[in-house]
Structure 1
Amino acid sequence: MAKSTAIKALKRFTREIVNLYSAKYLRAPTLADLRRLLAKAERRGLPGMIGSIDCMHWQWKNCRTGWAGEYSGRKRVPTIILEAVISYDTWIWHAFFGMPRSCNDLNVLTKSSLSDELTAGRAPQIQFQVNNKIHNLGYYLADDIYPQWATFLKSIPRPTRPKDLKFSQTQEGYRKDVETCFGILQLRFSIV
């Protein structure tokens, strides 16, 4: 298959997925959605948290030999990257798909629309209080590679104090929702 035909087919497939799922799933949260997400996060010990962000490297089994170098990383297997923001109920409300594997999560973030929204100050405006301090922006749980922005909350590296250990366990437990969702996607859309 020619490169132009493959790209056309991928774009058509993506358009159909968006058409099929965008009204209910692939959309920004409404105010009612945000209230539900925030209430659940607060019950789980993370007030102000609106979702987890991560990238998944999806193996491209039928990648053309000529493209393999651009789409292969350390493991020398061609993959395409999916960046997603996912809630506790495996609802993907931000997705950015198609970056080559030779990129890392930070490179993907800088190309995605989420980065544009966050750098323009258009993160969901919510108010919550932690340690007697009021915050006005919701945040995403993220891994260590993400930038030191107010909208990304990363785990504490090598926690030792009981308070830090509890926080890290809570955050890691919540971030398992992302990995679960990625597993569901891989099983459901193995044709990709």
Structure 2
Amino acid sequence: MKKLLEPYNLSIKSSKKIMEIFKEKKYTKKDKVSFYGEISTKFYILKSGIIRSFYKDEKGKENIRFLHNGPTVVGSFYSLILNKPSTITYDCLTDCTLLECDFKVFKRLAKNNVELSNLYNSILEKNYLDMENRIHDLTSLDATELYLKLKSESPEIEKSIPLYHIASYLNVTPVQLSRIRRDLYKKVKTTGNI
């Protein structure tokens, strides 16, 4: 936990308060962390593993919004902040270690501690920027560019999760992903680079 908090330059006192309210939890592959339609009360720091956040369309097809690779903060902030049912589900694609925190307890502490208030703001800013980047990528990059970006950010991801999840994240079919991978392989084989 200390290592995860280092970038925020918290005092020893504030770090201790944070460590008191986060509880380490182990989840196995396919466990759900947060459910669509439920009001969330907790958020998490993903220490290790991969979690997807997804929603189902009107036909029941699952669409991955994000692939979260630890360490990062995960949770339905829409639900937490507005106290409304979550519009997405979070589930583990691999075994995961998370630090769980009650959102109201965290907010109460942040209200009376400038450092923790700044930490809260940093978490919200990062989530906002991640969302902006995702929207930008989906609207300005083609599927091959999205795939290459994912591979550069998470080089081992294909060894960790099924390809159909990667296809969903890229907003393509598994067949289209196979073509992208095949074409890139051919390009590397003939030119030596991508």
TM-score by length of 2: 0.29
Greater percentage in helix: 2
TM-score by length of 1: 0.29
